[in-house]
Amino acid sequence: MAAHVFYLDDAKALVGAGVDILAHGVRDRPVDAELIAAMKTHGVVYVPTLALDESQYIYAQHPVWMYEPGFEAAAGAKLLETWLGPEYAARTLTDPMSHRNREAFAMGQRNLKTLADAGIPIAMGTDSGAMPTRLAGWAEHRELQLLTLAGLTPMQALVSATNGSARVIGQEGDRGTLEPGKRADFMVLTANPLDRIDNTLRIDTVWHGGRPVVPVVRRPPGSD
């Protein structure tokens, strides 16, 4: 059982009621010792979904990664034209909800770090596809970046997205790690993501079920 949460009090009530997964993260107040102890007692997994809040305002700021080939391919020409236009920026940056989303995003990052440091299991989620701003295929890379910006190491971020996610859905036996006998679902990269997490964008090939998937949008050599 997974529950979408925002408020700390709701998270405590849900954990006490026996929920298995807290999704989207606590974003109204800092998590406290009471919640941490309860999550440990009940073995609750935390799925922060940091990109959910960031995606509500970040495109109006035109960050450099919006010009990544992977982002451009995921967004498509029509959305790119909208998000890079002055009307979208003006409307979004003056919307009171954008300020609320920024605050929620910052609190979500802070709480993720606190829970990870406390030993709470973390699994990666993106909510991609739920809205046009959450781009399937891109949101996953961005979430990895946000996990590290929140203070996780690249290894912690990658494990949350692989073994951590496999554990959440009860499929740790055949996926989540590279081992003989498990599903051959993986990416081959041209640079080490442990050096820089955005090296997950330096894709050489993608394999699914032991077979290469094409086409692949590759990042140009030397681009940063």
Pairing of strands 2-4, 21-23: parallel
Do 217 and 156 fall within a single domain?
no
Is the domain of 108 the same as that of 218? no
Pairwise CA distance, residues 96 & 104, whole Å = 13
Residue 111: predicted pLDDT:
98
My answer on whether 151 and 193 are in the same domain is no
Both 21 and 119 in one domain: the answer is yes
Q: Write the CA distances from 66 to 42, 58, 61, 126, integer angstroms.
A: 40, 10, 10, 17
134 and 213 co-located in one domain: no
pTM over 0.85: yes
**Is 30 in the same domain as 105?**
yes
Number of domains in the chain: 2
SS3 170: coil
pLDDT for residue 218: 61
Domain match, 209 and 163 both:
no
Structure tokens at 91: 């409307």
Quick one: pLDDT at residue 131?
Answer: 86
| DSSP secondary structure, 58-88, as one string | GGGG--GGGGSHHHHHHHHHHHHHHHTSHHH
Would you say residue 103 lies in a domain?
yes
Assess if residue 141 is contained within a domain.
Answer: yes
Closest CA to 139 of 46, 26, 27, 53: 53
Tell me how crowded residue 160 is: count the other CB atoms within 10 A of its CB.
27
Q: Which residues contact 64 (CB under 8 A, 6 or more apart)?
A: none
Beta carbons within 10 angstroms of residue 17's beta carbon: 10
In a domain, 66, yes or no: no
Q: Could you tell me if 128 and 25 lie in one domain?
A: yes
Tell me, what CATH number does 29's domain have?
Answer: 3.20.20.140
Phi, psi of 132 (to 5 degrees): -60, -30
For residues 129 and 209, membership in a common domain is answered with no
Q: Which domain holds residue 109?
A: 2-57+95-177
**Between vectors from CA 42 to CA 38 and to CA 46, what angle results, nearest 5°?**
80
Distance, CA of 158 to chain centre? 10
Q: What is the pLDDT along the chain (224 residues), one digit of tens a residue?
A: 999 999 999 999 999 999 999 999 999 999 999 999 999 999 999 999 999 999 999 999 999 999 988 899 899 999 999 999 999 999 999 999 999 999 999 999 999 999 999 999 999 999 888 888 999 989 999 999 999 999 999 999 999 999 999 988 888 888 999 899 999 999 999 999 999 999 999 999 999 999 999 776 665 555 54
pLDDT score at 188: 94
- Give the whole-angstrom CA distance, residue 159 versus residue 66: 26
Say if CB 57 and CB 92 are below 8 A apart: yes
Nearest CA among 116, 171, 165, 177 for reference residue 140:
165
